[in-house]
Structures are given as C-alpha cells and as structure tokens.
Amino acid sequence: MNNDKEYQFEQLVRRHKRTIYTVCYMFSHDKAEIDDLFQEILIRLWKGFDTYEGRSDAKTWIYRVSLNTAINQDKKERRRIETVPLTVDIDPYEADDPSTHQIRELYDRISRLDLIDRSLILLWLEGVSYDEIGAIIGITPNNVGVRLMRIKDKLVKMSTKE
Amino acid sequence: MENKNNNNLSELDQLKAQYETLKERFDQQEIINDRLLKSSIKNSTDYYTRYRRRQFILYPLFAVIGLLCIHLFQGNDLSIMLFWIVFLSVCFAIEIWTMRKLKIKTMENNDLLTLSNQARNFKKLYSLYIAQYPIPVFILTLGILFANTEFSRLPNMGAFIISLGALVALFVGVSIAEFRYKTKHCDDIIRQIEASEIPTDNKIRLNRQQKWFCIAMSIVFLGLDLWAFMIVAEHAKLPPKRPHEEYVLEYERGTDDFTTEGTLEIRPVDADTVAISSELLGGK
C-alpha cells in the first residue's frame, strides 16, 4: 500500500519535475540553493500527498506548494537540511551557449521582480488561467489581469533601460 | 501609441520565447534521481517538526539549569521550584501552539495571501506572549533578591542598583532579540505581500480559537504573576537564609588589649546573629 503511494508520488513528481525546477531556478541565486529548495518542495509535496490525492489539478497543487515554499521557507533553515544533489548537467546561471544565454536573460529580468510578481509572471508564462492564478495567489481573476499588465510594463521598461 | 504596443508585444513575445527555451532545456534534464526521492520521503521533517524537536531539548535543559540555580541560591525551596516547572510548561505549550499556526498543512492548502495573514496572526500571538512571559520571572527574581538583601549592609548601593538595572536590561534585550528572531521570517513574508501592492486585509483578524487562546494566555500569565507575588511575600516574612558555614578568625591580641586571649570564632546563624563563643571570651 505504502509502496503504491510512493510509486504514485514518484510518477507525479517525475511528470512535473520541470515545473518544480523552474520555480526553484527563479527563486534561487545558485545551484546549491536550487538543490536545497527542490528537496524542501519535494518534502512538502510528499507530506501533503495524502491531502491532495487528486482533489485539485495536479499542476495547480504543485505550483501552489512550490511557490508557497519558495516564498515562505526560511533560507537559513533550508540550509540545515542534508541535501541530495539534483541530476542536472547544465548550469543555468552560466551562459555558455545561446540557449542558456536566453535562459539567463529571462532569469535576469524575472529575478528583479518582487516574489509575488515573480510568481504571477511565471504562472502566466506557463499558461495557467487567470482563475487558477487567482486561486494560487489569493486574489480575484480581475486583479490578476491588472497585476499582469503592470508586471509586463515593468519588464518592458527593464529591457528598454538596458 | 501603436508603436509602443508593438514594442511591448515583441518584448513579451521574446519573454515567451525565452521561457519556451527554458522549458525545452529543463525537459531534457533528468533532474530527479532515486536517491533524492527516497531521501525526501524518508526525511520529511519540516521546519515545524525541527522547531518542536529543538524545544523538546531546550525546555528540559532550561528546567534543569533553573532548578540548579534555585538550589544553589535558595536551597531546596519547593515553592520556587514548582513555580519554575509550571512556568516553563506554560511557555512550552504556548510556543508549540503558536508555531502550529505556521505548520505544514497550511502550506499545501492555502494561497499566498492567506499564508501572509497567518504570518500576521502568528506575529500578533507571539508578541502578546513575549510581552507577558518575562513578568512573572521578573517579579520572582527581583522580589527574592530584595527579600534576601540587607540594604543597610551593602557596601556599595550604587553598584547594586546598576547591577540590577543591567540584569533587567539584559532580560528585556534577550526577549526583544528572541521576538525579532522568531518574527523576522514572518516580517519578510508580510513585506513581500505589501511590496507587491496586492490589496490585503491589513487589519489582523484572529479567529475564534485564536481569540480564546489570547484570553486564556493572559489569564494564565496573570495567575503566574500573582503566584510569583505570593512567593515573594512569603519570603519577605522569613528571616533571610544564609548557608551554614563556619568562619573562624585567628585573633591576635593587641598590646593594649587586656580583655581576653586566644581565638575569636564567628558563627553566622539563620537570624544573622553573630555569636561569639563565650568560652573563648572566658565566660564574659
């Protein structure tokens, strides 16, 4: 029974590994921080797996837990956990080829936003609906639209300044 | 205007294109390994659990240190010892309860704004606790100190007052530092929400359970304050206790002293009476 649960969890996490990794990347400053945050999110997902059990859309749930953890987790506390390194053979912070350079550029822009705006733009880029974004952040869909307009303006201003 | 809109669109298109690149690159990565999954499942201890474990170690430690200090300075004073144990138990229960407000389940089921409101609630509850918990300890410590001190014998009253002030300042300083440390993280969360200009309900709304908790906590601390007063009052009635030690001074008779010969023995007793052995004074 427990093995079955672990298997289901493993499948779910493998399906959404990129979503979790993207959140970790956008909310961290180096690879070690990504590893720490990724593991903390996995721990929270596993602990909440019983309460989830398909009650809501998996992607929304994973985003909610990942963003809540990224914003709320105390970095000093996170460092105290023994972390298992992720299996990633690129360093998204080091632009050594054109595609990594693109990723790095995206990171540079998004990381200048505050944490809530960062969450909003990530969800928008991921194609999550305004209703779902509102449910994750805790604001109305109308408010999501207004906020996103402002964030997009900010991002455009950033690139014109550059 | 049209130009500006076109510019914005191209910027956002670029952003989306960059995000697509990121997705492709990250999709190609394995990212998760078996060791990581096993470790996460096995060691699923969250901040709350770690905090609780730490409290389970710290509080018994405080209890032992406190009891040792009481034993050293006051002897086996059962009333103070019992007070200390009850006081620590109350503090422990409150700390665990308030920390539960930030516990794991809320992370999975609540949105960011609800979490920030919970952080505000936690801060409110914790500040109420921090403002109340030092008072009974102050009353007891200072009261017992005053009851045991004979001011007329103090060689330097100024130094005593300064030391007392320093002790109080230290206690207040430690309490403020503890409060800042424990609520700093909450402040960070609240600041993030406020900085994002998302309309929030700035007024702290405690739920019914939290309101009852605040009332109960205040009553309990008021009770502890009264208890501390009673212990102090009880001690003020008693003659100050001194450890039973023997002090024997070698007394050398001066050339103009014709009263006695030999050793002068001074024995401190409970009532602080200095008894001079009549035998040594030759029965005078």
pLDDT digits (tens, 9 = 90+) for B151-201: 555 566 666 677 667 777 877 787 788 777 777 767 766 766 666 666 555
In DSSP notation, B126-189 reads HHHHHHHTHHHHHHHHHHHHHHH--GGG-S-HHHHHHHHHHHHHHHHHHHHHHHHHHHHHHHHH
**pLDDT above 80 (res A79):** no
* Mean pLDDT to the nearest integer, B64-84: 86
Which tops the pLDDT comparison, B7 or B113? B113
Which residue of A77, A83, A84 to mutate against B (max B Cβ within 10 Å)?
A84
**Closest CA–CA distance from residue B110 to any residue of chain A (Å):** 8
Last residue of some domain: A50, A72, A89? A89
Q: Contact at 8 Å (CB) between B105 and A51?
A: yes
CB A29 within 8 A of CB A23: no
Q: What percentage of chain B carries pLDDT values higher than 70?
A: 61
Name the residue range of residue A46's domain: 1-89
The count of structural domains within chain A is 2
Question: For A45-62, how does the pLDDT look when each residue is reduced to its tens digit (9 = 90+)?
Answer: 888 887 776 666 888 888
Query: Which member of B22, B40, B114 has the closest CB to residue A39?
Result: B40
Provide the b/e sequence for B171-204 (b: ≥16 CB within 10 Å): eeeeeeeebeebbebbeebbebbeebebebeeee
Whether pLDDT at A44 is above 70: yes
Q: Find, in chain B, the residue whose alpha carbon is nearest to that of A49.
A: B108
Clarify whether residues A75 and A104 are in a common domain.
no
Whether B274 shows a pLDDT value over 50: the answer reads no
Report whether pLDDT(B225) > 90: yes
Contact B37 A13 (CB under 8 A): yes
Residue in A with minimal Cα distance to B39:
A84
Q: For residue B272, what pLDDT is reported?
A: 45
- Of A115-124, A142-151, B263-272, the poorest mean pLDDT is in B263-272
CATH label of the domain that carries residue A53: 1.10.1740.10
Same domain, A106 and A157: yes
Quickly tell me which residue has 């730490």 as its tokens.
B54
Question: A89, A109, A132: which is the final residue of a domain?
Answer: A89
Q: Given this model, what pLDDT does residue B273 score? A: 47
Average pLDDT over residues B98-122: 67
Q: Is the pLDDT of residue B140 over 60?
A: yes
| Separation CA B5–CA B284 (nearest Å) | 113
Higher per-residue pLDDT: A20 or A95 = A20
Tell me: do A23 and A98 sit in the same domain: no
Per the structure block, which two tokens stand in for B94?
A: 């409150």
Cβ of A47 within 8 Å of Cβ of B112? The answer is no
User: Worst-scoring range by mean pLDDT, A38-42, A107-111, B134-138, B207-211?
Assistant: B207-211
Residue A125 sits in a domain of what CATH number?
A: 1.10.10.10
Pick from A89, A113, A135: which residue ends a domain? A89
What mean pLDDT, rounded, does chain B reach?
73
Domains of chain B, residue spans: 40-237, 242-284
Q: Give the residue from chain A lying closest to B118, CA to CA.
A: A72
Q: Which of B18, B107, B193 sits opposite A102 (nearest CB)?
A: B18
